[in-house]
Structure 1
Amino acid sequence: MARATSSYIAVALCVISGVGAVLLSALLLWSAEESDQIALGREIAVVDSVVQSIIAQIPRDQASVTIWNDAVEKTALNFDPEWVYVNLARWMHDYFGHDVVYILNSANEKAFAYEGGRVPEASAPLPDLVRSVAAKARERLSALPPDMEVDAHGDGLGTTEVGLIDGRAAIVSAMPIIPENDGSIVQRSAPFLHVSIRFLDGNVFQKLTDTRLISDARFVASSAPGEGAAYPLMSSTGEALGFVVWSPERPGKRILTRVIPLAGCALLVVIALCWFFGRRLSQAAAKIEASRAHAQHLAFTDGLTGLPNRLMFSQCLERDLAGVRAGQTTLALLYLDIDNFKNVNDTWGHPAGDELIREVARRLLSVCRESDTVARLGGDEFAILCVDTDAENGRRVCNQVLKAFGEPFTEIGQQMSITVSIGMALAPAAGIEASELFRKADIALYRAKAEERGSYRLFTPTMDEAVQIRNATERELRNAIDRRELCLVYQPLFSSSAQVMAGFEALLRWQHPVRGLLPPSSFIGIAEETGLIHEIGMWTLGEACAAGKAWGVHKMAVNVSPAQLRRADFAEKCLGTIGRTGFDPQRLELEITENILIHRGGHSQANLEALRKAGVKIALDDFGSGYSSLDYLRNYVVDRIKIDQSFIRQIEFSEDSREIVLAIIRMARALRIDITGEGVETEAQKDFLVRQGCDQIQGFLLGGPLSAATAARLALSVGQEPSNALGRQDRPLRPSGSAELRWES
């Protein structure tokens, strides 16, 4: 009985052990399969994220070189193949890894090609996919609103598609080449296109392997392999292009192979085996979670600085604004932009610019609290989010940031003095929506840059009103010429005797249909920023020269903007306009400001020399109010200096002003430069200038700005009795005893 009982117990134990072993084996197999599937799902998500990131990154790579004034100059305006090769082709290949670059003209014809790291000897036709993407890019540009603002990334401008080129899967992206300061060019012209191609069968997915996210990742054009993992890659039209394949991580299978030898052990060790398996499974899951966390970190972090990127910052802002809406907190949004950062890249190169960006990030972190969020939004733009912060604390943070930039940057072996401008908006005072808060911080940043770079501005409602007025003025100014709302008035110029008329200065006015007659100070700044100054300037010159020709004046003075002089073709267009009117260039005097003299770059000096060679006189307006020096005058050689009226007004009251005027007159005599006193309003001012030998006088004492009709009658009356020249109210003031007005010989 005891033996039978022992047998029963043994059988029972065997059965129990067998059943336990089977259940344990089944559990092991099921757990291993589930672990492998979870790992595979994570890896597929990582591959999908990287593929979408590669597709999205190409147009951003292009934007770094296509939204660039120099790129427009060297392609659409003055095509320079060598420059295009270095900056738009080889740079994209060497720095960003793009395989093929095409530059297409406004007719979508190939203007330049760069394939496989070189310029091909023979010009092959454009692939069909490239033509299709270029055509869609043109259609997209034509559909954009005319007042669309273009950011540094060119978001919304380009067209990107995935397809086949000569049987190879490729990403094709087309971006317009437009200037940095005028995104509306996409509506007024057909810009050149920059087309980049990146083939997917090269080393595109190598970074997956390099970062140990995926093992042996590669692209295959054939059907999905039976072994390993595969991610189908589809074209923009839904066509299957191939597969991204890799060796999947199999944590469950790896663990199972280690556990199988222990499965035959006694049932007594089953518990230990389960514990061991659970532990290993936990480690595998932890590894998968670490991989997922790393992938998420890449998606939400700026790769250059390690700071949160724009996407992460937007999420943080939305999170904190929820507390603001609930009345639980306040916050300050600081929008920062490095001043003149482009000069760093142009002078020391992009690696130096990258190192500077990293140091800027370190300095920002050093002055912020742990609770603050510091992010790099892209390019040279940063943002700081300060929770539980009012206006006073926000100003304190701004001052600390500005102070941090007071120390020179020496990270590249060169000392650089870098400043940053800051725009600050407070919530809920400036709004409780993220887009509105960003917009208003950007408005404050624009105001800081316009008024004083290296400073900060807190958003106020008046700034928004000013932006709306400015935008309205810009829109209306574009139509002002066609509507004949611009006009010229003419202020007489007199010799120092005030009895000899020297000519007129043409002054621009805008007869606004609602706001009335506007002076240039109301709209010239906007015209310079938008590029309208070139069209307005040539119209002004043409009108003034035509009037000078018709009236037979001996001199016509016209003001010129610094932006006009920086154009390479300004002198050519200027002389062409003078020639069409028939006006003698030796009777034309162009007035420039001192700002032109301190910016020696560009084409200003060459334009001035070409104009003077043709006989045009150059006058330096508002002399003494800027940064002129004898060195500048010697290099630019002007024919006339006009003493700024701020000194003329103080002649009667300030000994310092009299001494300054005397010094300017003596200097002009020493340099053999003619001199004009402007803003003369009293007899005492006139008498002083005459005694000191000033050549010409201009001001309301002798004559204010006149309408074209009145100026014409005055010009045509030269040599007649004054009573026959003008009506009583139109006649300019003359010194007593002046019986006849005549031209200066």
Structure 2
Amino acid sequence: MSAGAHRSPLTYQVTLTVLVLAALALLMVVGFGSYAMVQADRASLERQKIFFANGLQDQIAAVQREQESVTVWDDSVSNAKANNQTWMVENLSVWMYSYYGHNRVYVLDEANRPIHAMREGQVVAPAAYGEDEPALLPTIEKLRRLIAQPAKENASGGPVKLAAEDLVSLDGRPAILSVMPLVPSSDRVFQAPGSEYLHVSAEFIDDAVVGKIAEKYLLDGAHLLPLSRPVGSASIPLVDSRGVILGYVGWDQERPGLTLVRKAGPALILAVLVAASVLAFLLRRLRRASSALQISQSQAQYLAFHDTLTGLPNRALFEDRLRRVLLTANHDGVKVALLYLDIDRFKHVNDTLGHPAGDELVRQTASRLQQTIREVDTVARLGGDEFAIILIDVRDVRDAEDMSERLQQKFQLPFSLMDDQVFVSASIGIALSTGPETDADDLLRRADIALYEAKRNGRGRYQVFAGDMDDLLLRKRKVESELRNALAGGGGIKLAYQPIFAADGRTILGAEALVRWTHEVHGALPTQQFIAIAEERGMIGELGKWALLEACRFAAGTRLPWVAVNPCRDRAGAGAPATRDHRKRVARKQRHDTHGPGKATQVGDQCGAR
């Protein structure tokens, strides 16, 4: 009785506290929910505005790309200066309307005088340009100033694209304006600086353009709003470079916050009622829940530092013990050895016998490792099929080698997996502490490098870390980085072409493309050296793609029947780009670069096939 009386005030205090906290929590949920709803709707609106603004910029860029397809062309320069009206109709004006939907096109000479004009797919007199000139002239003059400036280079070292764009109002309608000079695409046509003709193209921003942008960003009810019509919050202005508003684009605002409240409101109310009805029940079980929580915390603490499959220490506990062991060893002047063990071809066991067999192999491996090491040592599972063993108070590397040999002997015995006797081996990397300067991360890195060398030298063996291993790995990584930079355009890598002769010794049947790399510091590097590193670091596919494309570009400018590219077939393996899809992509690339689809397709297919 006294115990019950003793517990009643506590129960009352807990109940009152919980009820007060529950009421405060409910008020906070309602308040924060309302605030979150407003903020979500506001953030959604701002995001929709950004989407539409980005979509408009994408549309402007699309107009420029479409315009660039005819402005960078030898024929455009020649025919415009020859005042070939028929050619300009078919390629510079009506074609831009019928193929891309550009509403107005003007061709201006070097003095900004119109020589050709098109409106809505119909050729009109050049004098019609005068009606639009006040709106177009600022952008045209801006481009003339850009042309008059010294040539600049972009970040990739190429020339800056000459173009000027803006939003303008034509006949009271907002439009995208883009102006580009007609420039030759090759050295066959010479054009004196300052004599460039201009291609002026405008596309009206109508409901079709707005709908295209809205469809891309999933905006409902998008439409163009005139200046005279009131606009809501779900709209953005169409502003030219001078800050003049030409119109508005509006859409149906998406309100995720309000929608969520409407859908979840009844469920939340029901949840509150249910929570209130079970609150007393929860309070009665408070003591039992507290005990269960304490047990759960103990289990969670154990699981946080142990592997659930094997019961061994996990990486977190392993790293903590390794740091502690190193501190003690440095203080006492003794050495610590770290063994990094990996089961060879573990994936093969998983693939052939299944993951349950793989898990059982990991469990049996953990058991054998625990049976082999001393009680003072630590074995941990770092993940997958990787284990680490900390050997304390070792005299020299021979102690670690003796332990590795005993571990290797354990792997000579078969493993019983799914009623099968399976033989597997393990590779071990060994690293020893060298003094106070050795930290846990450095020791683990050295053991990992030694493990890598053990696997590279044939698996089923152990390897002690040596200083030159670190240097070799760093050199390989440096070569890999420099090779990636060279493939990305950093220079130095190229193809050399060796002719293939017929039996008469005079007729050239084709050529073989050979990869050569002239390093900016070390000069010409042996091909086998950097090809081997490319294969080892997984770059051979990228190198093969680069070689195939470069060879196709070379072949497109020659009369050779074919060019053989070794990396495409012999070196790149299954990851090589010498596939039908890649040849098609190369062919399309060559068609764009050479303006001649027939030969480019043939060269691309031949190069890919060889």
Q: TM-score, normalised by structure 2?
A: 0.48
Greater fraction of residues in helix? 2
